[in-house]
Amino acid sequence: MFCIIGFWLFENLEIIAFLIPNVESNEPLDQFVVSIDRIEKMTGLDFFYKLMDSEQMQFEKTPSTAGWKF
């Protein structure tokens, strides 16, 4: 199962992606954070196609938990 969450915080787009196995787990949620690119490659979908490529590259390649509280 995957989940991508995004919202605008003032002028910045904050996005985080999760890839969670469909099994019971006691792992903390931040252990399932992945890059958006990884999910796009798995699904064949381009989730942020309306953004310019340069904007997409800023947040799609590297998973980050910065700014998110778990």
SS (H, E, C) 18-38: EECCCCCCCCCHHHHEECHHH
For residue 58, is pLDDT > 90? no
Q: What is the C-alpha separation between 37 and 25, in angstroms, rounded?
A: 24
Q: How many CB atoms lie within 10 A of CB 60?
A: 21
Of 65, 18, 58, the C-alpha closest to 38 is 18
pLDDT band at 9 (very low <50, low <70, confident <90, very high): confident
- Please name which of 47, 38, 37, 61 lies closest in space to residue 5, comparing C-alpha atoms: 47
Mean pLDDT of 32-55: 93
- Provide the whole-model pTM: 0.84
